[in-house]
Amino acid sequence: MIKSLGALGVALLLGGIGTPAVAEDDFPITGTYTENQVCKGDGSDASVSRVKIGLKEIESSVFGICTIRNRKRDGSKFHVNVECKGPGGAVMVGEVTFTIRDANTLDFADQDNTYKAVLHKCQG
């Protein structure tokens, strides 16, 4: 079953594979982030939802792993098409957008703008 990735909560089913080999310079938002709370990095924020953005996949501690099917940069925005495998094997396909605020902060939104979050980069 294929569903559209756009419903509240499903939007963070981020993950990926299948993207052509590119340098991190082409996708400078790789790293580990906390959702809606500044990453302290001292272990005291272990219960905060985390998102790990890689060159080929994006992992969410809340929703799992999604495959990055393709991505496109438009200035400070990255439009990322993802295919996510949810609980029970359901496959969801959709687009998410990451907007660079500054060196350590991204805005996140799903394709329907039903779910938005601020991602704070963890150092180290």
% of residues, the chain, pLDDT over 90: 47
How many Cβ atoms from other residues are within 10 Å of residue 24's Cβ? 11
pLDDT in tens, 41-84: 787 777 888 899 999 999 886 567 889 999 999 999 999 999 98
Average pLDDT of the chain, as a whole number: 79
Statement: residue 6 has pLDDT above 80: no
Higher pLDDT among residues 109 and 86, named by residue = 109
Which token pair is 72?
Answer: 């496109």
Q: Which residues of 76-89 are buried (b: 16+ CB within 10 A; e: fewer)?
A: eebebbbbbebeee
CATH 2.40.128 fits 2-121, yes or no: yes
CA distance 108 to 77: 10
Which token pair is 93?
Answer: 């396909």
- Please say whether the beta carbons of 104 and 121 come within 8 A: yes
Quick one: pLDDT at residue 85? 79
